[in-house]
Structure 1
């Protein structure tokens, strides 16, 4: 597996923020982690709420840990709530 570079991570953040602006989304916070779950890039738009960085990092961590995008994780969690509750406890820092 190729390592994600900082330049690539910043590109992902910028693309996500740009996509959010195109659809007039609420202010976004975007986190990009490497394959080991370490934060590479994070940006919080003006007006994003106080806890958004932690939420964005948590969503990204879950996606890396389980190898699934956050949308698929949300659907999966509806089918397996006990598993995700247990996983949530493991991920607390």
Structure 2
């Protein structure tokens, strides 16, 4: 079984930050987690607020924990808000169902982890995550 390497995590971050800079987005924080929700790598651009790490990590943590993108979690939360508030409380605030994180999958579709970003809109955050995952030769989910 394959696992997410530090080199892959750093490649995801580098490509995501390059996309963000090229697109003119606000300063970003990007967190890459392994399949158990442990932090593999993180970067916070100069000028990014102090909340960027917590938000990026919480988006990715929720995605890897629930096995779907944070966009889908946000959509599900609309229909069952009490459950999602309870998840956030149970996880001591580490769970954030907001657009901006995607799963990282290998060629066989196995979940290796997740990457979350914070700094732009949810769509911008998600876009740079997808770019980063694809640049590392992996699939975003």
- Give the TM-score normalised by the residue count of structure 2: 0.62
- Larger RCO: Structure 1 or Structure 2 (Cα < 8 Å, ≥ 6 residues apart)? 2
Give the match for residue 66 of structure 1: 66
Aligned residues: 93
Give the match for residue 80 of structure 1: 80
Query: Which structure shows the higher strand fraction?
Result: 2
Give the match for residue 116 of structure 2: none
Question: Runs of 5+ in structure 2 lacking a partner?
Answer: 94-141
Give the root-mean-square deviation of aligned CA atoms.
Answer: 1.3
Give the match for residue 52 of structure 2: 52
Q: Output the CA distance in 2 between the equivalents of 1:23 and 1:79.
A: 33
Question: Runs of 5+ in structure 1 lacking a partner?
Answer: none
Query: Which structure shows the higher helix fraction?
Result: 1
Q: Output the CA distance in 2 between the equivalents of 1:71 and 1:52.
A: 18
Q: Output the CA distance in 2 between the equivalents of 1:36 and 1:23.
A: 31
Moved >4 Å (runs of 4+)? none
- Give the TM-score normalised by the residue count of structure 1: 0.91
Q: Output the CA distance in 2 between the equivalents of 1:30 and 1:73.
A: 19
